[in-house]
Every structure is written in structure tokens, then in C-alpha cells.
Amino acid sequence: MNVLIIEDEKPAARLLQRKLLKLNLEANTMLHSVEEAVEWFMNNEHPDLIFLDIQLSDGLSFEIFDAVPVNSAIIFTTAYDEYALRAFKLNSIDYLLKPIDEDDLEVAVNKYRERIPAKDSFSFDFDQIKRMLVNPLDKSYKKRFTIKMGQRLKMINIEDVECFYSENKGTYLHTNDNRDYLLDGTLELLEGELDPAKFYRVSRKFIISVNAIKDIVMYTNSRLKLVLNTYDGDEVIVSRERVNDFREWLG
């Protein structure tokens, strides 16, 4: 099966690629913009299945299909809520909400495998989808956190966050002024709420801000050790499988 990923955030695209490999699906091609995708479709055989983000760096992914006819099966990957996604249900299109859950991914892939009709039987009314998307198309990321402290609430702006970490089954926020606050939820949930241009999950335990990195040191087994501005708890290690992605994220 020929599988294509169209996703403007390269770390998200590679993460999806790895998850698909666990389902015995190999996505050898990843595209990151409308312009790149249009050129690729004009010069390559179209895939059986496309995992498609809606908002790309240079416009809506629907613009690809305005420029070139595509009859591949599509599974949307999107941050939109259920209300906005009425359009996809009406058009019988599979979709996955970000951050993508592996169980949901497996269900969507199995649904496609059960169908696998001729490629020319896939037909989508993208204009109808665009009209029915009632929510704004701009991605919105977390801007602040509200922390309960006894009988008071404390507001912490995202710019003041140095890192997030897990410890003893709890999730914590560490600020630039060297204070720690307990949060509800998990790092997995947080990962999908943070701007990937500013925050990166370096390991199962840490999500760090790019502005918090004071030093980067070579570490054992091809890993990297990060020294942050104020955090001095457990070592912040970039796991070996994330090192290449991390370097690309740094630019």
C-alpha cells in the first residue's frame, strides 16, 4: 500500500510515520506545504491513502485539490473539535484528532483496509467541507495556565514556562523564576496544546521551551544532555531516537 503524509510540522509527520510503522504501514513520502504537494502530485503516481493535515504552512490543504485532481483515500489529521468535524462525518471521511492516539489510528487504518475499493471510487466535496467548518482555521495553542493555590488562582503565561516534566505520577510546570506547579493532565495531553515551534518533547519525562536551553552537551549512547536556565532537578536528556528530530527543531 502506498501511503503519503502531508503535514507542515515535521516532528509531527515523523511521529505519525513511526506510529504507522507499528501498523505495518510504511509512509516513505512526507510533504509539508501546499506548493510542495501540488508539484509532487503533478509528477508522481498518486498514493492509495493520504494522511492530511488541514492547515499547512502556506494555506489550506484543500488548495492542493483545487490545483490537481486527487482520487486517493484520505484520513484527516486535525486539531478541530467534534463540532467543526460534522463536515467530515457527512462526507464519510475518516479523521483523527491531534494529538493522535495510537488506538484511534489503528481503528481508522483498519476501517480503510476493510473498504479498500478502487481508488476512483473516492470522491470528496471539498467546497462543502470548507463551508461547514464553523471554527476558525488558524491553529490556537495554549497561552496561559491557571494554577490553584489553596484559595487562590495564579495565572502563568506560556512565555514564563521553562519546561514541563512528570514526576511520581504527577505533571509539573517549571517557570523562569525557578518555581514548580502541579498541573492536571499528562504530558501527552500537553504536547498537543503547545506551540511546536516553541516547545519540544525531548523524552517521556520532559517538554522544554527553546528559550530555556542554556547549554547542550554530548551524552552517552548518542544522546544529548540539556542544561536549562533554572531547572536543576533530574537530568534533561534528549533520548537517542529523538536526537535527529531535536536538531532539526532547533534549526
Q: Per the structure, how many domains does the chain have?
A: 2
Q: Which residue bears the cell 525531548?
A: 202
In a domain, 139, yes or no: no
In a domain, 82, yes or no: yes
Q: Which of 132, 153, 180 lies at the terminal end of a domain, its last residue?
A: 132
Question: The C-alpha cell of 119 is what?
Answer: 481508488
Looking at the fold, whether 7 and 128 belong to one and the same domain comes out as yes
Burial class of residue 54 in the structure, from the number of CB atoms within 10 Å of its CB (0-12 exposed, 13-18 middle, 19+ buried): buried
> pLDDT tens-digit profile of 145-184?
999 888 888 999 999 999 999 998 899 999 999 999 999 8
Q: What pLDDT does 64 receive?
A: 87
Q: Which of 83, 108, 132 lies at the terminal end of a domain, its last residue?
A: 132
Task: Say how far residue 206 (Cα) sits from the centre of its chain.
Answer: 16
**Mean pLDDT, rounded, of the chain:** 84
> pLDDT tens-digit profile of 51-65?
998 888 887 887 888
Supply the range of the domain harboring residue 177.
Answer: 144-250
Q: Which residue bears the cell 533554572?
A: 230
Q: How far apart are CA 149 and CA 124, in angstroms?
A: 50
* pLDDT confidence band for 81 (50 / 70 / 90): low
Looking at the fold, whether 117 and 154 belong to one and the same domain comes out as no
106 C-beta neighbours (distance < 10 Å), count:
14
In a domain, 148, yes or no: yes
Q: Which of 101, 132, 163 lies at the terminal end of a domain, its last residue?
A: 132
Contact 204, 194 (CB under 8 A): no
Question: The C-alpha cell of 27 is what?
Answer: 509512509
Most confident listed range (18-22, 62-66, 91-95):
18-22
Question: The C-alpha cell of 67 is what?
Answer: 490545483
Average pLDDT over residues 181-193: 86
* pLDDT confidence band for 91 (50 / 70 / 90): very low
In a domain, 173, yes or no: yes
Q: What pLDDT does 239 receive?
A: 83
Looking at the fold, whether 20 and 100 belong to one and the same domain comes out as yes
* pLDDT confidence band for 120 (50 / 70 / 90): very low
Looking at the fold, whether 170 and 220 belong to one and the same domain comes out as yes
Q: How far apart are CA 149 and CA 155, in angstroms?
A: 10
Residue 50's CATH number: 3.40.50.2300
State residue 236 phi and psi, 5-degree precision: -95, 105
